[in-house]
Structures are given as structure tokens and as C-alpha cells.
Amino acid sequence: MRHLHRHPGLARLALVLGLLALWEIAARYLVDPMFLSPPSRVIAGLATVFRTPGVPRALAITLWELAVAFALSVAIGLAVGLAIGLSRFSRASFMPIVLLLYGTPQVTILPLFILFFGIGPASKIAFGVSHGVFPIVVTIVAGVQNIKPILLVSARSMGASRWQTFRWVIFPHMIPSFFAGMRLGMTAVLLGVLLAELYVSTAGIGYFTTLFTQSFDPTRLFGLISLLAAMAIVLNETVRRAEVHFGRWRAE
Amino acid sequence: MTAPDAAVHVRNVSHQFGEEGEVHHVRALADTSLDIARGELLCLIGPSGCGKSTLLNVMGGLLLPTAGTVHVGDVPVRGPLPREIAFVFQENALFPWSTVMENVVLGMVFQGVPRTEREARARRSLEAVGLADFTGHYPGQLSGGMRQRAALARALSLQTGILLMDEPFGALDEQTRMILGEDLSVLLARTEKTIVFVTHSLGEAVFLADRVAVFSARPGTIKEIIAVDEPHPRRPEFVTSAKFHALRNRLYTLLHDEIRKAVSQSASGGGAPDQRP
Amino acid sequence: MTPRSGRRSQRLSRAVQLAFLIAVLALWYLATARWGVSHLLLPNPTSVLAELEDVLASGEFMGDLRVTLTELAAAFAIAALGGVSLGYVVSRSPYSVRVIEPLLAGMYSIPIILFLPLYVLFFGLGPASKIALGATIGFFPVALNTIAGFGYVDRIYVVAARSMGASGFQLFRWVLLPAALPVILTGLRMGFIVALLSILGSETIASLAGLGHRIVHLAEAMETARMFAYIAFVVAIAAALNFLVTVLEARGRR
């Protein structure tokens, strides 16, 4: 018992195992197997999920959609963020527009994206980008904006040109914000792409979630969703680690 | 002094934080004994980490010592005694979400003062500390000095026999400390409270106290007690007198080596952990 | 920057924003009226306006609006009650905070909307699945903020109150609750917004009724102009609700 006290990680693990046990019991004895599947069966069934024809390819396609959407979000976000952030006037003019768009519930225009881009991967990527650019733009603008004026003054006092000031002062200063933006952007892209997939999909993972739902196959459905959740965790964690690594000089 | 005059008895109090062998193990206090007379103002002074705040917390029942006892009169102290002991802390403990008046009243709510008396008492103590015009302000709107005045008003309104103050002016600048010190001396001369006051400042100790207890470096124990024989309220002229300088110099001599010892202690090992219970 | 030039550049910024808006509207109009973009893809702004007037005048939106708002109310009620209760219980000991808070934060970091198919499988296509998912997603910001609010009350206030003889209830009522309230209110606002978004999302993906479903239905029927009208309507409703909870939160913080 003392060990649990010293290691909250262990206690957490015990808690999770306890909850899994409850789920196991409920699924086995209390609920109709058409609606809920116990974890033991889900884990055993993961292999069959993979063997279902089309699933590995669908996972690959979804992963590709995420990668492309993220890359595009970063590229566009960086460009737009710098364009807006580097001048006080463009900040004052365009940030309100950006924030207004950022605040709208994009899920309402999901059918519109499908209408414009079709039911293939293009619409998933587009929707993902539409979600991902905003946090990146906002954090980059903030990163450029909150540079301490004294740093700019001291660069100017040493005779730095505008390009030099940007390359050696503003850009390095902005990098931690950039990585923070990428972390938020990854979460947003995940949301966008997965939402679009769940809505309509012919080749991606959404096809199979619909299939397993309509055929009342909770075992394979939960297996598939767990895989997607695991993928989301890995992606989020990767970007988070990158942020920690590159943001080291920021004591905050 | 004879026992009936002593308000607080501290007997062989030792305290350590953590167990032997643990990383956080700190022997804060070692076998400290002290008798504090009713109505006197005693200062505790010493280097950082010497256990003076720990002793104050033990006296006030916020901390149970690992050895030794504290008695208030003949009552052993084993927990807070809100009817007998009131605190003023260094960190501002006024609730930021309530006004100054509400803060003072709240103290009496906790203590159990009847509703009819609360506001009158609050007004009186706020007037006594010079905050009569600021009763509706929030702590965030006041300066550091005024916040500590309000904290003092809250403690005074509880009408306890004993007041424990843990570096109440520690977070304030020199000039504010000077003013507050003079005002405090005037205020306390009117009451008959027993006051224990922890400070780092040599001048503050000599100016305010009847006696000054000098602590050694960790593990702290009382090295010497110096008496300051000067009538209350202390006048500002006292500070420039020869008597003041002589006393201050004595404190300096007593403390200097202990301070050096404490500094080398904190360089080699970790500092004392947060001594609040 | 002098005050005069400051005000001037402010007006200039406003002019740019206005110009941007006009440019977008102009492009939209030209695309449909002059450049031959199919009106099934991008309807004429005037027809969208006409459809919007029709929707509002006929009150056709009422049924779906009622469904969505009921789902939102139910989901938020569950999330708020569950989140604050659990959050308070967890916050009582620093140890349980250390054990449970990272677990909740970790769970919240994945897109929980992924679990929608499971909820639909279990609860069906009706409002129950939307309420359940909305409550699940809304629960986390409420619980996490409640833990933060109660769990990180500065110790000095607790110590001071106890030294003055405060009872357990007095401590809760006069110290813990007022200290934690601003953070909890923020959590409630975040939970509300997130529940709304998840309900709209799940109505879009798998539903038989509600505003999200209505938009999908119109998309499938290729009634694009009317769909645009409904999108504008839903965005307005969402903005109004957002504004409402922001104001309530600010009021609650006094």
C-alpha cells in the first residue's frame, strides 16, 4: 500500500485496470453483446480487424490524409502568420477577421466541403487544413508580437538591417510559439480529418466505422476506434515532444 | 518571572521535518525553551532557516512539534486556539475576493463572535490601523503596507490575548516598514496583548521589542535573550539614540557568525522546506 | 505613436476589414452571376438571402432548433453536475489530484468524437447518443477546471482561516468556493461550447433530427441555397450562445 502512495503512476494504472475490469464484467454479463463488447474480446479481435480486407489500406490512407493536411496547415499557417504578424497594421486589420473565422463552428460547413471537394481524400485534407491553420496563425502572430521591444532596439543599435533583425532576432524568438502552434494544429487537424472521415468515406477509415456500426459489430468497431485513438495519441505526443525540445530556451 | 505572569511556556521544543535519511530531512529546532510574560513584546530574530517561524507555528498550534510542549497559561497547545491566539502572516492572507471590511468580519465569523458585535468591532480595529476610509476596497486595490494593516486589523478584532506575527513587514520596502513599525508601537502600547514577532531586521527588533531572542543557525536554539529597557510607545528619536545603537550592535555581533553558518548550510545542502503545516 | 495617428490607423484598419468583407461578397456574387459557377455548388447570395427569409418567416427551423437545444441542455446539465462533483471529490487530496488529473487530461487529449459510432451503436440514432457524447466530451473541461480551482487554493488562505477557528463548512463556503469559482466558471463555459460543437458534429454525422442533420439533409437534396441559409442561421445561433455564456462567466466572476 505504501508503494501506491509513493508512485501515483502505479495507482493510476491500478485505477485504469479496475475500470477495464468493470467494463469486462458489464459487457459479459449485463449488456446485450450486440451493443457492447468486453475488452478481452476486443483485444483478441484486433487481429481480425487488421485482416478485414481494406482496413490496413484505409488506415494508411487516413494517415496520409493527416500528414498532408498537417503539412499544408503548417506551410499556410506559417506564411499567413508571418504576413499578418510582422506589421502592427496588418495585425490590427486582419487578426479580428482571423479570430472571427476561428470562432465559428466549422462542423456546420462540413457538407459544404464535401460538396466542393467530393467524397474522396481531398475533402478530408481540405477540412483538416481548414481546422489546422487557425491555431498556427494565431500562435505565430502572438509569438512575433510579444517579443520584448528592448531586443529589437538593441539589434537596431548594433546596425542590423530589417532582414537581419528578422533572421536573427524575430525568427528565433518565434520558434517556440511555432512549435506550440503545431501542437495545437495537430490536434485540430486530427479533429478535422477524422470528422470528415466519419461523415462520409469510400476509401478511408470512416467507411469501416460505418460498416461495423451498421452490422452491429462492437468488437471490431471498438478495435478500430482504439487503433485510431492510439494513432492520435502518438501523433499528438510526437509534436508535443518536438515542442518541448525546441522551446528549451523559454524558461516559462 | 514567576509562573502566573507567564502567558506562554515553551518547554524543550524540538522539531524536524521528514525522517532521518530522507532527502527532505531537516532538523529545524533543537531543544528550545522560553517563557513569555503577559503583555510583553518578544522578538524572535535569527538567520534564515533557523526555525523561528517553525517555533511561531508551534506556539500557535499550527504545527505539532516532534518533541516538547507549549502551554498557554496552563492549557497545552495541540491545535489552533482561535480564542487565545491570532496570527499575522508574512504572505498576505487577506482573501482577495472579499473587501477589507468583509475580511475582518469573516475572521470573527470563524471565531464565533455574535453577529451583533461584528461590524462594530471591525470598524474599531480598522480605524485603529488607519484604514477607516478603505473598508470597501478589495485587497488588490491596496498597497502592500495597507494590506498588512488590514491583516493586523483582522487579527486585532479577534480580541485574543496573544498575537503572533511572522515577519509581517517582510515583503514591504524600508520606508513603509519604518512607518508601520512606529504606528505598530503606538497601537500596541494601548493594548495589553502578549506579542511574539518574528523578524529579520535588527533595527525593527530593537525598536519594537521588550526582549529579543537571538537564534542560532539550524538546528535552531535560543542563543541569548537581550532585554530592551525603554518605555512604550517607542518614539522615533529612540532610533538615533546611543542606547539603540549599542543594542543593535550587540545583536549584530551575536548574529553575524550564525548568519555566515546559515549561508554555508544552504549552499551545501538544500534549504529548509516550507515550514507551514 | 501619437494619439491622433493611433486613432487614424485604427480607422484605417477598420477600412481594410470592411474592404475585405466587400471583396469577399463581390467575389461570391461574381462567381455565381458572371463566371458560371454552378448554383448547385455555390448559390447566388440573393437566393441565399431569400431562402433565409423564408426559413425564418415560416418558422421551419423551430423543430430542429428545439431538438438541438434540448440535447445541448441535457448534455451540459450532465457534464456540469458530473464534472463539478467529481472535480471537487478529486481535489480533496493532493494525492488523488496527482493520480487522477493526468488521467483525465490524457483522455481529453484524443478526439473523443471518434467514439461517436460506438455511441450510435449503443444508443441508436436518436437524441440519446448525441446527449451522451456531448455529456462525455463536456465533462472533461468542467472536471479538470474544478480540480484546478479547488485543488490549487493558496494554502495561506486555508491556514489563516483555520487559525481563526473556521469549521469545515465555513472553510468551504468562505474560502474554497470563492477562490475556486472563477476557474470553475471558465470550465463550465468551455464545457458548454465543446458540448455544443460535439452535438452539432454528431448531428451532422449520424442523426435523424436537429440542426446539423437539417444541413446534411439539404446538402443531399442539393438544395444548396437553403443549406447556406441554415448554415448562416446555425453560425448565428452558435455565436449568440457563445456570447451568452461568456457574459454569464464574466458576471459570475463579478
| Assigned domain for A105 exists | yes
* CB nearest C162 (choices: B80, B91, B106): B80
% of chain B at pLDDT higher than 90: 45
How close is the nearest chain C Cα to the Cα of A102, in Å?
A: 12
Q: What is the CATH number of the domain that holds B76?
A: 3.40.50.300
| DSSP character string of A78-97 | HHHHHHHHT-HHHHHHHHHH
ipTM, two decimals: 0.87
Non-local (6+) Cβ contacts of C212 within 8 A are A107, A108, C68, C199, C200, C201, C202, C203, C204, C205, C234
| Assigned domain for A252 exists | no
Q: Do chains B and C touch (3 or more CB pairs under 8 A)?
A: yes
| Assigned domain for C94 exists | yes
Q: Are residues A149 and A225 in the same domain?
A: yes
pLDDT of residue B170: 87
**Residue with C-alpha cell 487554493?**
C153
| Assigned domain for A251 exists | no
**Calpha distance B84→C47 (Å, rounded):** 80
Chain B residues lying within 8 Å of C166, measured CB to CB:
110
Torsion over CA of B161, C171, B142 and B89, rounded to 10 degrees?
A: 40
Selection from B269, B62, B14, A67 nearest residue C164 by Cα: B62
Q: ω before B4 within 30° of 0 (cis)?
A: no
In chain A, the residue whose alpha carbon lies closest to the alpha carbon of C9 is A89
Q: Are residues C20 and C123 in the same domain?
A: no
Span C95-153, pLDDT tens digits = 899 999 999 998 998 899 999 999 999 999 999 999 999 999 999 999 999 999 998 88
**Calpha distance B203→A96 (Å, rounded):** 57
Q: Which domain, by its residues, includes A191?
A: 38-246
**Residue with C-alpha cell 492520435?**
A232
**Residue with C-alpha cell 438544395?**
C223
Q: What is the length of chain C? A: 254
Q: Are residues C114 and C181 in the same domain?
A: yes
SS3 label, residue B11 = strand
| Assigned domain for C45 exists | no
How close is the nearest chain A Cα to the Cα of C64, in Å?
A: 14
Question: Would you give the distance in Å from CA C169 to the centre of its chain?
Answer: 34
Lowest mean pLDDT among A112-126, A152-166, B250-264, C142-156: A152-166
Cell numbers given for C23: 471583396
DSSP B220: B
Judged against a pLDDT cut of 90, whether residue A146 lies above it is answered with no
Contact B41, B209 (CB under 8 A): yes
Judged against a pLDDT cut of 90, whether residue A114 lies above it is answered with yes
Span B147-184, pLDDT tens digits = 999 999 999 999 999 999 999 998 888 898 989 999 98
Chain B residues lying within 8 Å of C159, measured CB to CB:
62, 89, 93, 276-277
To probe the interface with C, which of A107, A207, A210, A233 has the most C CB atoms within 10 Å?
Answer: A107
In chain A, the residue whose alpha carbon lies closest to the alpha carbon of C210 is A108
**Calpha distance B203→B189 (Å, rounded):** 18
Q: Which domain, by its residues, includes B238?
A: 3-84+164-171+195-268
To probe the interface with C, which of A32, A108, A109, A117 has the most C CB atoms within 10 Å?
Answer: A108
In chain C, the residue whose alpha carbon lies closest to the alpha carbon of A11 is C99
pLDDT confidence tier of residue B264, bands split at 50, 70 and 90:
confident
**Are residues C110 and A233, on separate chains, in Cβ contact within 8 Å?**
yes
- Mean pLDDT over all residues of chain C? 92
| Assigned domain for B251 exists | yes
Cell numbers given for A204: 478511408
Span A177-201, pLDDT tens digits = 899 999 999 999 999 999 999 999 8
| Assigned domain for B255 exists | yes
Chain C interface, Cβ < 8 Å to B: 155-157, 159-167, 170, 174-175, 178-179, 181, 254
Selection from B60, A54, A112 nearest residue C163 by Cα: B60
In chain C, the residue whose alpha carbon lies closest to the alpha carbon of A114 is C219
Q: Are residues A89 and A4 in the same domain?
A: no
Answer with the residue of higher pLDDT: C72 or A48: C72
Q: Do chains A and B touch (3 or more CB pairs under 8 A)?
A: no
Cell numbers given for A42: 476486443
Q: Which domain, by its residues, includes C236?
A: 57-252
Q: Report how many domains make up chain A.
A: 2
Judged against a pLDDT cut of 60, whether residue A252 lies above it is answered with no
% of chain C at pLDDT higher than 90: 78
**Are residues B93 and C159, on separate chains, in Cβ contact within 8 Å?**
yes
Span B62-120, pLDDT tens digits = 889 999 999 998 899 988 888 889 989 887 788 888 899 998 998 888 888 899 999 99
**Calpha distance A203→A125 (Å, rounded):** 13
* CB nearest B89 (choices: C160, C170, C179): C160
Q: Are residues C2 and C115 in the same domain?
A: no
Q: Are residues A25 and A43 in the same domain?
A: no
**From residue B268, how far is each of A23, B28, B42, C39, C86 by CA, in Å?**
53, 16, 32, 79, 44
Judged against a pLDDT cut of 90, whether residue A107 lies above it is answered with yes
**Are residues C159 and B89, on separate chains, in Cβ contact within 8 Å?**
yes
In the sheet where B162-166 sits, what is the strand order? B85-88, B162-166, B194-199, B41-45, B211-215, B222-227
Selection from B27, B29, B85, B92 nearest residue B59 by Cα: B85
Q: Are residues C100 and C167 in the same domain?
A: yes
Span A161-182, pLDDT tens digits = 888 888 878 888 888 889 999 9
Answer with the residue of higher pLDDT: B88 or A150: B88
**Are residues C163 and B60, on separate chains, in Cβ contact within 8 Å?**
yes
Supply the pTM of this predicted model: 0.80
pLDDT of residue B2: 39
Answer with the residue of higher pLDDT: B232 or B194: B194
